Amino acid sequence: MSYYPPRQSTIFLSDKVFVWGLSIILASYLFFIIALIGYDIFYMIDGSAGNGNPILNALSQPEIRYSIILSLLSCSLTAFLSLGVAIPIGYILARYSFKGKNLLDAILDIPIVLPPLVIGISLLIMFQFPPFSTPFAHYLPVDKLFGMESFNELVVYQIPAVILAQFFVAAAFAIRTMKATFEHINPRCEQVALSLGCNRLQAFSRVVLPESASGIVTAWTLAWARSLGEFGPLLVFAGATRGKTEVLSTTVFLELSVGNLETAVAVSLIMIISAISVLIVARLWGNDSGALL
């Protein structure tokens, strides 16, 4: 039986069709992303005639300024807290093998796959039981702390609830990122450091951490962006009280609930600008070449 290889023209044609197919999928998805933002901007421009700049009008409201400040502070704190657990957990999952590792890995993904409202309800219920509902006097030599009698009163529907609800989901994404980062770092360099007299902590801090700098930046960025967009757990566990636990995502909900679509879109654009700015800074900082393009 004779074998006749395909002609070069046929091979080149199939390659072009394959590349064009991939390009069409990429262009279509990219169009929808740009359109989501572009039509928001168009709506603001089209409906702002004679009413001034909708974003400036939104920023003139003290409630929205408060939600912006609380969002920036809570998201930044949540991102750092997420790194505090993501780095050691990601390192353990990437470097060590032990019984029950697959089960542990699956449990750590639960905050990602759970519906947001379920997370909020579960947090709310958890704080109804000890030790969270136990009075401070049982653990500390004080009857009240900041005017609250227990962790339940101190956290639920207060600012700490905002941070905790954001952290519960954002940390899971940071852990996934750090695990992948450590898995791509060659363990041989760490082993060389150990053979030269370093202990585990020294090898980790002097060899592994510097190598994982870009992954740490990416994990922080993902945690920050995920915290900014968190809504379901916040609404249930922290509430949406004006001037107290209101963040940008709940501001959009509150404005929509009263039919103020223009302000809701303006706040949405503020969130988009904030998220894009953080992503750009993270890309520039985390990229070794120092270039975005």
Looking at the structure, do residues 124 and 231 belong to the same domain, yes or no?
yes
Helix crossing, 8-47 with 261-286: angle to 10°? 130
In whole angstroms, give the CA distance from residue 193 to residue 292: 33
Beta bridge partners of 148: 145
Looking at the structure, do residues 85 and 105 belong to the same domain, yes or no?
yes
Residue 35 lies in a domain: yes
In whole angstroms, give the CA distance from residue 92 to residue 104: 11
Look up the domain containing 223 and give its range: 53-286
Instruction: Supply the pTM of this predicted model.
Output: 0.84
Rounded to a whole number of angstroms, the CA Rg of the chain reads 25
Residue 224 lies in a domain: yes
In whole angstroms, give the CA distance from residue 121 to residue 168: 13
In whole angstroms, give the CA distance from residue 50 to residue 48: 6
Number of structural domains (the chain) is 2
Looking at the structure, do residues 35 and 103 belong to the same domain, yes or no?
no
Residue 17 lies in a domain: yes
Looking at the structure, do residues 156 and 203 belong to the same domain, yes or no?
yes
In whole angstroms, give the CA distance from residue 207 to residue 191: 10
Looking at the structure, do residues 133 and 27 belong to the same domain, yes or no?
no
Looking at the structure, do residues 167 and 242 belong to the same domain, yes or no?
yes
Token pair of 292 as six digits: 């975005």
Tens digits of pLDDT across the chain (293 residues): 555 555 555 556 677 888 889 999 999 999 998 988 888 888 777 765 556 677 787 888 888 899 999 999 999 999 999 999 999 999 999 988 888 888 998 999 898 888 888 999 999 999 888 888 777 766 667 666 666 777 888 888 889 999 999 999 999 999 999 999 999 988 888 888 888 878 888 888 888 888 888 899 989 999 999 999 888 889 889 888 888 889 999 999 888 888 888 888 888 888 888 888 888 877 777 665 445 55
Q: Could you give the C-alpha distances from 37 to 30, 42, 54, 82, 273, in angstroms and in order?
A: 11, 9, 16, 28, 10
| CATH code, domain with 179 | 1.10.3720.10
Looking at the structure, do residues 36 and 150 belong to the same domain, yes or no?
no
In whole angstroms, give the CA distance from residue 95 to residue 239: 40
Looking at the structure, do residues 43 and 77 belong to the same domain, yes or no?
no
Residue 3 lies in a domain: no
Residue 292 lies in a domain: no
In whole angstroms, give the CA distance from residue 240 to residue 244: 8
Looking at the structure, do residues 41 and 146 belong to the same domain, yes or no?
no
Looking at the structure, do residues 31 and 144 belong to the same domain, yes or no?
no
Residue 4 lies in a domain: no
